[in-house]
Amino acid sequence: MKIEQFEDKGLAHFSYAILSECAREIVLIDPARDPQPYYDYAKAHDAKIVSVIETHPHADFVSSHLEIAQQTGATIRVSKLLGADYNFEAFDEGDAFTVGKLTFRALNTPGHSPDSISIVVSREGKDEAVFTGDTLFIGDVGRPDLREKAGNMTAKREELAKQMYHSLRDKLMPLDGTVLVYPAHGAGSLCGKALSGANSSTIADEKFGNPMLRALTEEEFVKELLADQPFIPKYFGYDVALNKAGAPDYQPSVQQVKRLAAGTTLEAGVLVVDTRPEAEFKQGHVDGAINIQQGGKFETWLGSIVGPEESFYLVAADEATLEDLIRKTAKIGYEALIKGALVGTPATDATMPKMDVEQFRQHPEQYTIVDIRNATEHRDEPLFAGSLNIPLPELRERAQEIPTGKPVVVHCAGGYRSAAGSSIVADALPGTEVLDLSEAVKSFQSASAQH
């Protein structure tokens, strides 16, 4: 047996190929949107992909399970509780299949979602590894509720949290301590709050070091699990539905995005996502554009600021960056929302002023300070007395709450989010001077907060 882990750093996502060397057959678990790396792996090992397993209908990325099944003839296995729209073989507690000398069996482990499963792989009767999806992470466990609407969120989250308590203790913790643990996410994922930077572990190590596996009552576990979870991006529910139906093929969908010539006049009233560096953006951009810079978490912030019901133009500094950003956009299923993609500066109607940091440092009381970090960041690491906290994912909807009697200073923790935030506020509050503290925020904070 050979286990290959594929990592998408932008989404902190792990997927897996399990190769039976004697059978030359591969089982994939939770594949990402682009199927090519898995095809390449199969070709390199002269093996055939025979099954694709989804641990649940993911909220944070689009899977290529349907495309891979249609291209290779592989069987898709998911929980029957998912109610998938595509052809699949139910894979729930009591179900198992073999590939060469390997046996794959399902454990129903609800908690992150009602239809979550974990997959135990054994060889010649001995359990070797468990693929835990978003149930058990290294150093943490999955959060509940990612697909729920606000109306019944509290009750549903508590119910799922209770299920998580029992899934961990009744299904996963009883496995042999030597069993390797392979989760679907690592540090940086929004599917948990304290994930380790490690990419694998063992049941014994998690029972020893994972704080959510220590001796807790159900009530204590639920309270701790639901406290201080990160925000839920706008795109999460959309991706659950897309994965439940099965996404369109990756390459054709990416190629269908309209590439526009530089200088093309953009249709009025359509959102513009300008990904150029913030210094270039501030010197001139389309009026109303949002500055979501190319960066390691671009797709997460795009899907947190822009809802799945909006179409938008995508603007990049150069051709290579534009193509990279279209691929990143496809990872969350947003490529269909791109009205047109182009390079350069389609207009320079709007500008943003450069901030005098020393003036601000001497007289912060002369400004309205807006902290767009998450609520827990604002609470745990306050930077400016009296600042107004509106987290970036909520800023488009709440910018009108900002008083306009003074110049407005927008800050985050490192300068990336404030570029987006200041562009949103400047559009929402015409006539008000809006300033981006940008990376200068680091000179106001402790070293531990500079991220």
Calculate ∠ Cα 398-402-408, nearest 5°. 125
Pairing of strands 180-183, 126-133: parallel
What integer pLDDT is reported at residue 156 of this predicted model?
Answer: 86
Which tens digits make up the pLDDT trace of 181-236?
Answer: 999 998 777 776 777 778 899 999 999 999 999 999 999 999 999 998 888 899 99
Q: Residue for token digits 């046996």?
A: 103
Task: Determine contact, residues 46/54, Cβ cutoff 8 Å.
Answer: no
DSSP for 328-346 reads HHHHTT-GGGEEEEEES-S
Which tens digits make up the pLDDT trace of 405-446?
Answer: 999 999 999 999 999 999 999 999 999 999 999 999 999 976
Q: Is the pLDDT of residue 288 over 80?
A: yes
Residue 179, sorted as left (phi over 0), alpha (psi -120 to 50) or beta, turns out to be: beta
What integer pLDDT is reported at residue 5 of this predicted model?
Answer: 97
Q: What is the C-alpha separation between 293 and 300, in angstroms, rounded?
A: 12
Q: Give bridge partners of residue 20 from the DSSP assignment.
A: 25
Q: Is the pLDDT of residue 150 over 70?
A: no
Task: Determine contact, residues 445/381, Cβ cutoff 8 Å.
Answer: yes
Which tens digits make up the pLDDT trace of 174-185?
Answer: 999 999 999 999
Q: pTM of the prediction?
A: 0.93
Q: Across all residues in the chain, what is the average pLDDT?
A: 93
**C-alpha to C-alpha distances, 139 to 228, 248, 317, nearest whole angstrom:** 16, 34, 39
> 287-296, 342-351, 398-407, 422-431: which range is least confident on average?
342-351
Count of positions (residues) in the chain: 451
Domains of the chain: 2-236 (3.60.15.10), 248-343 (3.40.250.10), 357-443 (3.40.250.10)
- pLDDT above 70 covers a percentage of the chain that reads 96
Burial class for 227, CB neighbours closer than 10 Å (0-12, 13-18, 19+): exposed
149 confidence band (pLDDT: 50, 70, 90): low
What integer pLDDT is reported at residue 147 of this predicted model?
Answer: 64
Which tens digits make up the pLDDT trace of 229-281?
Answer: 888 899 999 999 999 999 999 999 999 999 999 989 999 999 999 999 999 99
Q: Residue for token digits 């990756």?
A: 250
Which tens digits make up the pLDDT trace of 67-104?
Answer: 999 999 999 999 999 999 999 999 999 999 999 999 99
Q: Is the pLDDT of residue 146 over 90?
A: no
**C-alpha to C-alpha distances, 292 to 154, 281, 415, 427, 429, nearest whole angstrom:** 31, 10, 11, 14, 19
Q: Is the pLDDT of residue 449 over 60?
A: no
Q: Is the pLDDT of residue 346 over 90?
A: no
Compute the average pLDDT of residues 294-310: 95
